[in-house]
Amino acid sequence: STTLNKNFRHLEPSFDNASMVHSLIASYDLHKKMTCISPKQANQHDLRTFHSESYISHLKSADDSTIANAESDLDSDDDDLPEDSAEYGLGFDCPKIKDLQSFVKIIAGGTISAAKLLTSQTYDTVINWCGGWHHAQRDEASGFCYVNDVVLGITELKKKFERVLYIDLDVHHGDGVENAFSFTPTVLTYSVHHLSQGYFPGTGAISSIGCGKGKGFCVNIPLKEGASNGTFVSVFKRTMPRVITNFRPSVVVIQCGADGLAGDPLGAVFNLTDTAYKECLQIVLELKLPTMILGGGGYNKANTARCWTNLTALVTGQKLDVDIPEHDFFEEYGPDFQLRIEAGYRPDKNSKDYIDALVLEVLDKN
């Protein structure tokens, strides 16, 4: 039994790619193969289970500042933010947006609601493509992420499940989630990502394995530029069985950030297609454990929608026609209007020797 967060359209106009995903899923009637649920918004208490009181208060003051400027017909830009906003990560890659407080509560509420459906054993698989905001820190916005719904969802899951496995497939390292749980042995964070000098967020070295009682419960697999489907899936298949055997998770959370797809304008370093994501997700689904599936990055909106629609089809056991049905966003998929995602011509700089050494080191640490 599968549930899908249907609260996409409430996110407009801030991030309209959520509506593209929802519309493409609906165009294939995949929503009819699931139970679609409108989740509750998170409240202040929910946010405080991870985020600091000062950060939550600052989000409100930033929101109030935006409203005041709008009412007085002043230009609304980052210069209008409270003076200490930079300390909380607001501005630059986390600019102020309209209705910031509501936005944060919707994002967080979707993942918390999904987690509660797993803890109540109402469903065994839940999807929130609006979630996966893995960079936000306890008291700081970061990397387009104003709230760490992943951490909030995992915290909810821990009320029921003894051991949580978090898998991060985003091209950027899931630093916010790792930092939140780096001292605990009850949450294992596993991230496959790109790491190079100057590439955001600059963390996720293979040597980062957790701290204190959590030492050995962080697994990082940093890949070089041009990672292909073969490279990506190979490291996943060669390392995940050891993680599963040793950790014995009770529940799995998998973040499927789509910015590793070929041609992503921001991720811009991997050469993946949806095939890589499908093969990794299939391995997770075969574990037959309660599973939460989240979105994340993805800045080619059409390809992100293609990828997550294909993953939704995998979860629901449906085979989709390659020709995209006509719907509200149909013109965004031109010129071929096909569901498939093609790899580019970027060379894969991950040599066999590099991958073999990487896998061996991961296995030695686990």
Beta carbons within 8 Å of 50's beta carbon, 6+ residues apart:
138, 148, 151, 152, 155, 180
Q: Which of 173, 278, 270 is nearest to 227 (CA)?
A: 270
Is residue 137 helix, strand or coil?
strand
Task: Establish whether 214 is an annotated binding residue.
Answer: no
Q: Which of 69, 132, 47, 59 is nearest to 89 (CA)?
A: 59
The set of long-range contacts for 231-235, using a CB threshold of 8 Å and a minimum separation of 24, is: 231/348, 231/350, 231/355, 232/192, 232/260, 232/270, 232/272, 232/276, 232/280, 233/275, 233/276, 233/279, 233/280, 234/355, 235/192, 235/355, 235/358, 235/359
135, 173, 193, 194: which is the annotated catalytic residue? 135
Task: Establish whether 175 is an annotated binding residue.
Answer: no
Task: Establish whether 170 is an annotated binding residue.
Answer: yes
Give the full edge-to-edge strand order of the sheet including 164-168.
35-37, 2-5, 125-128, 291-294, 251-255, 164-168, 187-194, 218-223
**Residues 298, 304 contacting (CB under 8 angstroms):** yes
> What stretches of the chain show up as alpha helix (H) in DSSP?
17-27, 44-48, 53-71, 100-119, 149-157, 175-181, 229-247, 274-285, 301-316, 352-365
Active-site residue 31, yes or no? Answer: no
**Residues 156, 323 contacting (CB under 8 angstroms):** no
Is residue 272 helix, strand or coil?
strand
Cross-strand bridge partners of residue 167 = 190, 254
Task: Establish whether 93 is an annotated binding residue.
Answer: yes
Cross-strand bridge partners of residue 145 = 142
Task: Establish whether 143 is an annotated binding residue.
Answer: yes
Beta carbons within 8 Å of 175's beta carbon, 6+ residues apart:
134, 135, 137, 142, 201, 203, 204
Q: How many CB atoms lie within 10 A of CB 313?
A: 18
Q: Residues annotated in the binding site, as ranges? A: 93, 143, 170, 172, 259, 299
Q: Residues annotated in the binding site for a divalent metal cation, as ranges? A: 170, 172, 259
Q: Residues annotated in the binding site for substrate, as ranges? A: 93, 143, 299
Catalytic residues: 135
